[in-house]
Structure 1
Amino acid sequence: MTAGPGAGEDVLALARLTYLDDGPDRWARAEALLAEHPGLVAEDPFVAAAVGDAEAVRRHLRRDPGLATATRREDGWTALMCLAYARVRQRDPYATARLLLDAGADPDAGVQLGGRVPPFTVLTGCFGEGEQGPGRTPRHPQGDLLAGLLLERGADPHDGQALYDRMFARDDGHLRLLLAHGLGRGDAGAWRRRLGERQDSPQRMVALQVDWAREHGLTDRLALLAAHGFTDGTPADEPSPWRERQPLPPVFASATPLGVRRVVSEGADPDARAHGRTLLHHAAWIGDVELVSALLEVGADPQVRDDAHDATPLGWAEWAYADATAALLRPVTRAGTG
């Protein structure tokens, strides 16, 4: 059965990360549309890529070998990008990505959302996360595997948007991959060559990561960067945009479970605020179970409300679809105070 006009466009609009209002409800609506219009995969190669249907993509490539490098006129996205940013259930994303790359797909493809720099690249979609939190903009389920394939096929490791999106939480899996493939080395990258000085240099990208890790007491990240020879942050005359003008409260500047326990035992306030919120709000939003547990253990108040949204840490967790931290906070938060 042939799908109605616009059905494929609706699926792609709902299935992919938008970085505006993402979440499981959108992806469920996309899957419902796919179930209602099963012929879309055969009709639309970008939908076929989004659902990771390797056989369907192979048939599309036989009919049109240029599909691998084609961009959608609606938004400039390639099929490989549709695959990396989709959060619907996929059949075999790795095999589909290999097919597209073998056919000439650009591993550095990307778009400038809203005209902004850095661009959102295929790697960005694989690594996920960002300002909405990992519950709303999660990593691709096979993100590390796909990112490794892209890097092996020549993707530029200097992905400023991916570095930004993944810096808020403590996991460093993305950095290990990027560092192993040359992050911070050389004098340019694919997008630096395209955008010139609008795109940060490789050295500055790594220095920004040092700054963030140092400001927030992310000792494992600092050790990882140092092991690759990166110990310097941004210079005083070209500072990081997120370097704090005033020192962060001790509990924020030691934002690991071990660090929190240490500074609170030395007298630090576990409910101190930075940017109008407590560390418990932040830990709840990013789904950091160990950090939430440590903060509750040292006496952080689960009833405290942030300045911008008047919400408790539980409210932050629930908005961000951070189910694991919400489950920890729900029993210790008074009903009706999320």
Structure 2
Amino acid sequence: MGRYTRAPHREPVHEAGPDRLLRLACLTYADEDTPARLDEARRLLATNPELATANIHTMAAVGEVAAAAVALADDPSLANAEGGPFDWPPLLYLAYSRLDGPGQDTLGVARLLLVNGADPNAGYLWEGLPSPFTALTGALGGGESDQPPHQHELALTRLLLEAGADANDSQALYNRAFAGPGEDRNDWLELLLAHGLGRGSGGPWHQRMGPMHPTPAKLLQDALLHAAAEGLPNRVRLLLTAGVDVHGLGTEHPITAGWDAYELAMLSGNMEVAGLLREAGARAGDPMLEFVARCMRGDRDGATRLLADDPSLTERAVAAHPALVCRAAELGRLDAVRLLASLGFAVNPAGARTPLHEAAWRGDLPMVRALLELGADPDAEDAEHRATPSGWAEYNEQREVVEYLASHTPRLS
């Protein structure tokens, strides 16, 4: 897979001109994807407007339709020419660019590229990982750092699908799985379903990647599991209507591995979703899940009633889910954190990171305060980076949390 591997997030020491514009304008799916970089791209373009038409790649990223039409009429092979700082074809720069403004027509350039033979399934493997970042992935955006979608998200997605982009796009589905209550918008998913998501052979990337890439059925199953974990009832309804197995398990991912949708909904305290899944035939199973769900909702009365019937529930739940406070902190559920801590769940659990890391990363100052009051260790280090919660907050530019931790963390004299 070496021919498809790219590392767009690795910046050179010095870079100028068209390559610098492309690097600043496009998502790279790393920590560098910030509004400040896009602002720098706009300033660079305003100062050097000739960069927009420097080559077919900048024309695509900026939306210079007239210049692109001339270039492609002269040489149609440019539609698939790899180049620029990431060694991408023009369609990828267009899909991952977030430049927009008066006179820019990225959709017009996309149509020109596709008419001239651009591959609608163009993509790359980020650092060689087996989930391809395609043009469709770029159009839809999203991800663990909540990257914005393309400025013409749905129109570009529809254009790519109608041109032959395969809807069974593993990275696009994963990136858009990260949403919270109140963000249950699914027009993009309806588009993918209408164009074959969950059906067919899986497209060219599935053929290239073989067993490393999920089948169409597994992609849909994963979508249901993520929707259950994130608490997205509209998405769950849509996927159940599409025929996803309510009892099915997904691929081996840390968020979903080993759990079915109902279990994930309960473990996250998503009671509405859990109810939908029960109506669809999910088995209620162990009453411990009901206890955990009540805890994750911060429902002290409900948890207490369940304990009155079975006092062993706390011990069993702590043993089965020792890092539950971490999940509650990740979801921003302060009442759940206080309840779980009072029941004996660890606020400093062993593992990759602590609840305080999660709260610090999110900039959740009330959660940070509460966790410190409950005995969270401000000097705990995560397993991967050996960084403290303050380090996580600083890296994610959560200055208020950094300052609070600095003033409320005891120091040895």
Alignment of 1:153-192 (within 5 A): 153-170=163-180, 171=184, 172-192=186-206
Q: What SS is found at the alignment partner of 2:127?
A: helix
Q: What SS is found at the alignment partner of 1:112?
A: strand
Decide which of 37, 43, 60 is 1:26's aligned counterpart.
37
Check whether the contact 2:329–2:359 (CA below 8 A) recurs between aligned residues: no
AA aligned opposite 1:273: V
Q: What SS is found at the alignment partner of 2:49?
A: coil
Decide which of 329, 335, 343 is 1:277's aligned counterpart.
329
Once the two structures are TM-superposed, the CA of residue 214 in structure 1 deviates from its matched residue by: 2.9
Does residue 69 (structure 1) correspond to residue 69 (structure 2)? The answer is no
Decide which of 139, 142, 148 is 2:149's aligned counterpart.
139
Does residue 58 (structure 1) correspond to residue 137 (structure 2)? The answer is no
Alignment of 1:238-257 (within 5 A): 240-243=253-256, 252-254=268-270
- Partner Cα distance (1:155, 1:70) in 2: 18
- Partner Cα distance (2:64, 2:271) in 1: 41
Q: Which runs of 5+ in 1 are unaligned?
A: 293-299
Query: CA distance change for structure 1 residues 310 and 143 in 2, over 3 Å: closer, same or farther?
Result: same
Which residue is 1:119 aligned to? 132
Query: CA distance change for structure 1 residues 39 and 73 in 2, over 3 Å: closer, same or farther?
Result: closer
AA aligned opposite 2:33: D
**Sequence identity percentage:** 34
Q: Which runs of 5+ in 2 are unaligned?
A: 1-14, 275-292, 304-323, 334-357, 372-377, 383-387, 407-413
Once the two structures are TM-superposed, the CA of residue 42 in structure 1 deviates from its matched residue by: 2.4
In the TM superposition, what whole-angstrom CA distance separates every residue of 1:123-160 from its partner, at most 9, and x where no partner exists? 100111111x22xx211121111001111111100110
Query: CA distance change for structure 1 residues 218 and 267 in 2, over 3 Å: closer, same or farther?
Result: farther
Q: What SS is found at the alignment partner of 1:81?
A: helix
The structure with the greater share of residues assigned to helix is 2
Once the two structures are TM-superposed, the CA of residue 81 in structure 1 deviates from its matched residue by: 0.9
In the TM superposition, what whole-angstrom CA distance separates every residue of 1:5-54 from its partner, at most 9, and x where no partner exists? 84111111111101112101111111222122211222221111101121
- Partner Cα distance (1:235, 1:336) in 2: 42
Query: CA distance change for structure 1 residues 64 and 175 in 2, over 3 Å: closer, same or farther?
Result: same
Which residue is 1:296 aligned to? none
Which residue is 1:148 aligned to? 158
Once the two structures are TM-superposed, the CA of residue 245 in structure 1 deviates from its matched residue by: 6.0
Q: What SS is found at the alignment partner of 1:71?
A: coil
Decide which of 196, 199, 204 is 2:213's aligned counterpart.
199
Query: CA distance change for structure 1 residues 157 and 40 in 2, over 3 Å: closer, same or farther?
Result: same
Which residue is 2:389 aligned to? 310
Once the two structures are TM-superposed, the CA of residue 108 in structure 1 deviates from its matched residue by: 0.6
Which residue is 2:351 aligned to? none
- Partner Cα distance (1:119, 1:35) in 2: 33
Q: What SS is found at the alignment partner of 1:277?
A: helix
> Highest relative contact order (Cα 8 Å, sep 6+), 1 or 2?
1
Does residue 96 (structure 1) correspond to residue 106 (structure 2)? The answer is no
Check whether the contact 1:109–1:122 (CA below 8 A) recurs between aligned residues: yes
AA aligned opposite 1:129: G
Decide which of 115, 118, 133 is 1:105's aligned counterpart.
118
Q: What SS is found at the alignment partner of 2:155?
A: helix
Deviates more, 1:187-196 or 1:106-115: 187-196
TM-score, reference length from structure 2: 0.63
Which residue is 1:12 aligned to? 22
Query: CA distance change for structure 1 residues 35 and 233 in 2, over 3 Å: closer, same or farther?
Result: farther
AA aligned opposite 2:239: L
Check whether the contact 2:21–2:44 (CA below 8 A) recurs between aligned residues: yes
Check whether the contact 1:11–1:34 (CA below 8 A) recurs between aligned residues: yes
Which residue is 2:314 aligned to? none
Query: CA distance change for structure 1 residues 104 and 248 in 2, over 3 Å: closer, same or farther?
Result: closer
**Number of matched residues?**
308
- Partner Cα distance (1:26, 1:17) in 2: 10
Once the two structures are TM-superposed, the CA of residue 187 in structure 1 deviates from its matched residue by: 3.1
- Partner Cα distance (1:78, 1:209) in 2: 29
Check whether the contact 1:167–1:209 (CA below 8 A) recurs between aligned residues: yes
In the TM superposition, what whole-angstrom CA distance separates every residue of 1:194-252 from its partner, at most 9, and x where no partner exists? 2222211111111111222234443222211011111345449x655432668669572
